[in-house]
Structure formats: structure tokens, C-alpha cells
Chains A and B, each alone.
Chain A
Amino acid sequence: MLGFALRRLVQALIVMLAVALIAFSMFRFVGDPVNQMVGLETSIESREALRESLGLNDPLPVQFARFIGNAVQFDFGTSYQFRQPVADLFAKRIPATLELSFTSALFALIAGIPMGIYAGLNRESWLSKLFLSVSLIGISLPTFFIGILLIFLFSVTLQWLPSFGRGDVVEIGSWWTTGFLTVSGLKALILPSITLGLYQMTLIMRLIRAEMLEVIRTDYIKFARARGLSNRVIYLRHALKNTLIPVITITGLQLGSIIAFATITETVFQWPGMGLLFLQAVQNVDIPVMAAYLILTAFLFVSINFIVDILYFLIDPRLRVKQA
């Protein structure tokens, strides 16, 4: 187990180093950092002084090492467009993105798992077929268009829910803000979470359905039936347990996608999170923010992959036997 975890850890570190190298090259070679920081009327001498003080005349490996050293301490330089430390910009926006992503994942699981179980057990019923057709449409609709449709229906036409922003937020501690504690905050979460979670929901539903179809054909389920256990116990205790292994993997990996696709959802709903910040950075070629976003998301993805791998190892005894 320890060896397995260590190997994964080394792999994760290599990936992070590679990503850091890409982020560093973007920062160093896309446009000139000095030109971005000073005004047009700055003299050549003071430009050179700034260049020297930023360490841009040092050998590249030294610069890269310093870049990593700073990144580990969450120092990503100053944003070109906001003239503020990148780390502060992100700190203000991380809560919004994490709350949105968490709610979407929860929605995907709570709606997807029961729908998948039902569709797997009642293959021929019209409701299962409806679920499947809807999920096919859900996969084909681009995320941003789902958002637009929801806004059109629930905000513009019915005027039930807000179409932009987080509503009222409450501050917790020095920097975390939450929308979970106010009515308008919760209302503002509904449409973006559905938009973001719909694709994941259809994915989980299809996965559970396929796994259920497979599991209920196995011998141990037949045996459980022969023992006279009730359907309820067979399906929810014995069958569901074994369908959950791939679900955990996929959900874990999809958590990364959720955070990435949050960029789109946040743009549609003007949600003040990291994704919206990143998109503004792309539009204005704000390289420090782009580089920081790249490193932060890479870190999230790599950590999630690592945790999923370890969980998988703990849940599936077959993997442990092979290792031993």
C-alpha cells in the first residue's frame, strides 16, 4: 500500500513540475513581463532596473527555481489588468467556485444515482426510456446553451430565480464567503448548479444503469434471491455496493471537469468565481492570472486523481491481492 501510494505521489509531482514549466514559459516568453508592468513613458534605465530587480536577467534555471519557490508559497506575481497580487484575487474567488462545484456534484449524485438504479432495474419501462432519451439530449446540449435555456425559462419568463450573481453572502472567518446561509444565496445557486451538474448527472445515471444491468446477472445476486432475500435488500445492499466502485472513480475524475466547466457556467451566470477571473484573463492576455489558474487547477486535478487512486485501492480488495 505504501509503495503504491509513494509511486503515485512521485508521478503526481512529475506532472506538477511539467505544468509549472509550462506556466513558467508562458509567464516568461508570452509578451514581455516588464512592458506589461510599466507605463509607456517609463525610461529605459528604470525598465532595466525593474528587469534586474525581478531577476529576469538571471539564468533561466535559476528563474524557474525561483518561480516554483514562489508558487509553493502561493505567490504568483501581480495581475497585469488589476494591478493586484494574483493570490489575493484568487483567494477572494475560490469560495464561490468551490461552493458552486460542490453543489453541482451533489445534485449530480442525488439525482443521477436513483435514476440510474431505476433505469437499470426496470429496463423496459417508459420512464427508463424517457430518462435515457433525456440524458442523450443532455449530453448533446452545450453547457452554455443549457444555462441560457434555464435563464430564459426560470428567470426571464417565470421570474422565479435570479439569473446572475451569488445573491447575499455571509462572511465566515477572514476570507471565506458563503451563499449557503441566506435565502437569496441559495436561490442564486439553483440554476448554475443544475447547468453545471446536468452533464455529470447523465453520465452517472448511464454508468449506474449499465453496471446494474451487469451486476443483477451475476451468480451472487441469483444466490441472494435463492436465499429468499427481499428485492429491496438485494438491490440496495448487494447490487448497489458493487456498482459504486466505478461511480467513485468517475465522480472523482469528473469533479475536476466540474471545476473546469465552471468557467463556462460562471460566465453565463456572471458568478464571481475563479473561472470568470480566468476568462477575463484570457480575453485580456493577463498572463500571471492564466499561469496561476493553470497551476491551481493542475494541483486540484492531480490531488483528486491521487485520492481517487488511493480510494480505489482501499475499496477494491482485488487490487490489494494483486499487489501482495
Chain B
Amino acid sequence: MRRSGQDQTNPAARPVLNRILDSDLTHSFLRSKVTVAAATGTLLFFLAALLAPLIAPHDPFDLAGLSIMDARIPPVWMEYGEPRFLLGTDDQGRDLLSGILYGLRISLIVGACSVFAAAAIGIFLGLIAGYAGGKTDALIMRIADVQLTFPAILIALLVDGAVRGIFGNLDREVFSFWILIFSLALSFWVQYARTVRSSTLVEKNKEYVQAARVTGIPSIIIMVRHILPNVLGPVLVIATINLALAIVTEATLSFLGVGMPSTQPSLGTLISIGNDFLYSGEWWIAIFPGIALALLVLNVNLLGDWLRDALNPKLR
């Protein structure tokens, strides 16, 4: 957020930190209590995911530490609950709290990687479409239009099925992760491409691009070094909002049984496992991971909404 003239005339005079603290963005952030809470919540979730191996009371992947005798123990405050397992255990005797912490880690990694991959595809195609124009532009944008008529979840399901069809019986434990990221990236690239294309169309007629072109710099370098940095702003907003969407979509795919396998459970896989025990009264196996997922998505959504409004000059 650039401020008015006086800052720009003498930018070096003020320390960077002060300028950040005094920016419109910081003010708008601190004014909204909900946003501060959402940011804190998101940060806590990220920290919990990052530090899962350190703070989790048990290691859910350590098969030697599991005992079938510990299976389906209710949370500690219920009858038959044990203090060893704060939120109870699942059907294989894994501690649910540790499972959620590690699941959070997997959900966030898949979410972040797929957002990154989708943004990369979208930025690449958007830049080319906007800069080249003509038939290339028309082709890329028609593909984008066709894809936009379908919800992302359908595309992710189709891609997932097709990839597994092409590669036959791949080792699911190894490849589920990559297939997931690939299908999620293919489902979400359109928004980035459209945004980047429209800002590229504006940028490419500005003087600095024309100057670069006159001096004979190759198109590819103009695109990457000159235009790209100027079109990245809106991409950041879309990425934040899409992170929540990607996490939900990943959880949904895992819940439907085409996402992460039960040996590397994401939050969606945990809910899917727990769903089988809902009817026999072991509600905690599905409900606690679900609450964690919902809180995570709610926090990221709130943060994304604020970022969108704060960076949108129309709403000021």
C-alpha cells in the first residue's frame, strides 16, 4: 500500500518498520477485532501443524507404540476415558489429538502445495494469454471459460479418476499426495489466469514495457522480470481465499476415499474413518477432526475476506 506523495519523496528517511506499522493495511488490520482473532487463530493452526512432532503426545505413525487394547477409548471427560488420550482414540488405538495435529499438517501441506501449483499454472498461462493476445489468448481463455462452468470438486474427481486410470495400480501411499495436488491445481488455476491476464493487458501498454521492448529485450524476460512483479498483488488475495477452498476440497476428496490414504491421514481421512463408527456411538473419532477442519477453514476464510476488502480500492 503506497501512501501519498510525501512518503515517496523521501522514502529512506523513515525506517522500514515504521512505514509498515503506519501503513493503511496495518491500521485496517488492527481496527477489525475479528481479523486479529482470525489471524491469531490461523497462526496457531500453522504453528500446531509445524510443531506437531514436538507437541503431539503420541506418534500416530509409530506402529510399535499402538495397541489394539487402546482402540476406541472415549475422550478423557467421559466415562472410561483415560488421561493418556485427551480426545480419545480411533479404531486402531491411535491418539486422536496426535492424529489431528499430524492430519492438520498433511491438510495444510496439501492445501499450500496445490494453491502454489494452481497459481503457477494460472500465472504462466495468464501472462502468455495477456501478452501474446490473438489466437493464443482466445484458446487459453476459451478453455478457462469451459472449465469455469464446472465446480472445482467435479474436475478434481474426474482428474483423480483419469490419472489413476492412466497409471494403473500405482502405490497409493506414495502417489496419492501428488495425484491430489495435481487434480487440485488443475481445478483452481482458472481464477489466477483470468486475473493475471487482465492485469497483463493493462501493464503491457504502459511505457516501461514499451521502452523495454524498444531496447530489444526478449518477450520472455519482459514477461517475467517486468510485468510479473506488477501483476502479483491480486494473486496473493486469490491465493489466501483459495487456501481455504483447497483445504476443504482436499478434505472432501479424502472423505470420499480418493484422497490421502489412511496410513497418512489428513483431516478429511480422519473424518472418513470416524464416519464408520458414528452409528456405534464412537462420535469423537469423526467430530473432533471435523471441528478442527471447520475452525481452520473459518479462520483462513475470515483472513482472506479481510485481505480482499483491504486491498480493494473500490471499497475504501
Contact = CB atoms under 8 A, between A and B. Distances in A.
Nearest to B169: A285
Given A30-B162, A145-B294, A264-B252, A297 B257 contact: no
A283 B293 contact: no
Nearest to B294: A141
Interface string A128-170: 0000000011011111110011011000100000010000000
Interface in B257-315: 257-258, 271, 275, 278-279, 281, 283, 286-287, 290, 293-294, 297-298, 301-302
A31 interface: yes
A25 to B, nearest CB: 9
Interface in B137-190: 142-143, 145-146, 149-151, 153-154, 157-158, 160-162, 164-166, 168
B165 A263 contact: no
B252 A282 contact: no
A278 interface: yes
Nearest to B274: A148
Contacts of A100: none
A140 to B, nearest CB: 4
Contact of A15 (B146, B157, B244, B275): B146
A293 to B, nearest CB: 8
Interface string A1-33: 000000000000011001100000010011100
Contacts of B142: 14, 18
Contacts of B150: 260, 297-298, 301
B113 interface: no
Contacts of A294: 158
Interface residues of A, number: 45
Contact of A260 (B151, B244, B255): B151
Contacts of B123: none
B146 A19 contact: yes
A163 B142 CA distance: 42
A148 B271 contact: yes
Contacts of B143: 18
B304 to A, nearest CB: 11
A142 to B, nearest CB: 5
Contacts of B145: 15
A260 B294 CA distance: 21
B27 to A, nearest CB: 24
B283 A282 contact: no
A212 interface: no
Given A142-B294, A282-B258, A302 B149 contact: yes
Contacts of B294: 137, 140-142, 145
A261 B146 contact: no
Interface string B238-260: 00000010001001100111100
A78 interface: no
Contacts of B162: 26, 30, 287, 290
Contacts of B298: 136-137, 140
A290 B163 CA distance: 13
B154 A263 contact: yes
Interface string A231-269: 000000000000000000000000011001101100110
Contacts of A285: 161, 164-165
Contacts of B256: 144, 263-264, 267, 279, 282
B182 to A, nearest CB: 15
Contacts of B290: 145, 148-149
Contacts of A63: none
Contacts of B275: 148, 268
A41 to B, nearest CB: 20
Nearest to B283: A152
B154 A287 contact: no
A305 interface: yes
A182 B216 CA distance: 76
Contacts of A137: 294, 298
Contacts of B149: 15, 256, 298, 301-302, 305
A175 B279 CA distance: 33
A64 to B, nearest CB: 17
B173 to A, nearest CB: 17
A294 B154 CA distance: 9
Contacts of A208: none
A283 B257 contact: yes
B271 A144 contact: yes
A281 interface: yes
A242 B251 CA distance: 39
A263 B161 CA distance: 14
B251 A260 contact: no
A152 B279 CA distance: 8
Given A26-B162, A140-B301, A148-B290, A279 B283 contact: no
Contacts of A151: 278
B297 A290 contact: no
18 contacts: A15-B145, A15-B149, A18-B143, A19-B146, A31-B166, A142-B251, A148-B271, A148-B278, A152-B278, A152-B287, A261-B153, A263-B256, A264-B252, A282-B157, A282-B161, A283-B257, A298-B150, A301-B150
Given A145-B293, A278-B157, A297-B150, 7 more contacts: A15-B149, A136-B298, A144-B256, A156-B283, A282-B157, A282-B258, A283-B258
Report the 10 A-B pairs with minimum CB-CB distance, sorted nearest first.
A282-B161, A140-B298, A30-B165, A285-B165, A260-B151, A145-B290, A140-B297, A260-B154, A142-B248, A301-B149
Interface of B: 142-143, 145-146, 149-151, 153-154, 157-158, 160-162, 164-166, 168, 244, 248, 251-252, 255-258, 271, 275, 278-279, 281, 283, 286-287, 290, 293-294, 297-298, 301-302
